[in-house]
Amino acid sequence: MPEQENSLVSHLEALRRALIRSLVALAIGIVPIFFVSPYVLGWFCEQIALQGGITLHYFSPMEVFLLQVKISALLDCVLFSPYIAWNMWQFVLPALYDKEKRFVRSIAVLTSLLFVAGVSFCLIVCFPLVVRFGMSFAGDMLMPVFGISNLVSLALWLSFAFGCMFQFPLVTYALIRGGIVSYETVCNKRPYVVVGILLLAALLTPPDVVSQLILGMPTYLLFETGLLAARPYKGREQKES
C-alpha cells in the first residue's frame, strides 16, 4: 500500500508540474500577444467590412479592451498549443512502451496542427459565410447593426469549436490503431457517428442551422479521413486472435 500511495503521489506531482509549466507558458506568452491584438482586431474589422460595407459599433468604453483580451487569449492558446500538447504527452510517455511512445509523439504534433487548421478554416472560410447569411435578411425595413463584441465573440467561440472538432480524425485513427475499437465496428456505426457529430455541432455553435451544418459537414469529412487513414489496421483483431 505505501508503494502504491507513493506511486500515485508521484504521478499527481508530475501532472501538477506539467500543468504549471503549461500555465506559466500561457501567462508569459499573453503579454507580448496582447500588444499584437489591436492589429488582429483591425484586420478582423477590415475583413468583416469587406463582406458588404458593414460598419461595426461598440457600446461601452471597455468593450474594445475586453475584446483585445479575448483575442490575446485565443492566440495564446493557438500559438502555444504545440507546447501544451507536448507537455501533457510527456506526462503520459513514461508509462508507455517505445513503440507506443513514437505513436504518441506523432499524435501530439498532429493534435496541434489540426487545432490550428480548424481555427484557420473557421476564420477564413466559415465565419464569412455566417456573416453573409446574417446579412441576407437585410432589407428596406430591416437594417443590420453589428456590434463588434458580438461578432468577435462569435468568431472566437466558433474558432474554438472548429479547433476541437478537427481532432475527430485523430480520435478515430487512434482508437482503431490502438485496438480499442475495430475498423468494422466504426464503419457499421456511421449513422450514430453522423447523429453524434450533429449533436456536438449543435452544442458548440450558436442556435442556427447554418453554423451547425458548416461545422458538421467538414467534421464528418474529417471522420472519413481518419477512417481512411486507419484502413491498414482493418481486421487486425482477427489476425492477432
Nearest-angstrom CA–CA distance, 161 and 130: 14
Nearest-angstrom CA–CA distance, 151 and 5: 50
Residue 176 belongs to what domain range? Answer: 167-234
3-state class (DSSP) for residue 62: coil
Beta carbons within 10 angstroms of residue 58's beta carbon: 15
Nearest-angstrom CA–CA distance, 81 and 115: 8
Beta carbons within 10 angstroms of residue 96's beta carbon: 13
> Burial letters for 187-213: b for 16+ Cβ neighbours within 10 Å, e otherwise?
eeeeeebeeebbebbbebbeeeebbbe
pLDDT in tens, the chain (241 residues): 455 555 666 767 777 887 888 888 888 888 888 898 888 888 877 777 766 567 778 888 888 888 888 888 888 887 887 788 777 777 766 666 666 666 666 676 777 788 888 888 888 888 887 777 777 777 777 777 778 888 888 888 888 888 888 888 888 877 777 677 777 877 887 888 888 888 887 777 766 677 778 778 888 888 888 888 777 766 654 444 4
Q: Do 198 and 87 belong together in one domain?
A: no
Q: Is residue 162 part of a domain?
A: no
Nearest-angstrom CA–CA distance, 205 and 212: 6
Q: Is residue 161 part of a domain?
A: no
Q: Do 7 and 98 belong together in one domain?
A: yes
Are 26 and 80 in contact by the 8 Å Cβ rule? The answer is yes
Q: Is residue 96 part of a domain?
A: yes
Nearest-angstrom CA–CA distance, 57 and 63: 10
Q: Do 148 and 208 belong together in one domain?
A: no
DSSP classification of residue 125:
I
Q: Do 89 and 45 belong together in one domain?
A: yes
* CA nearest to 93, candidates 109, 108, 76: 108
Q: Which of 116, 132, 156 is the last residue of a domain?
A: 156
Structural domain count of the chain: 2
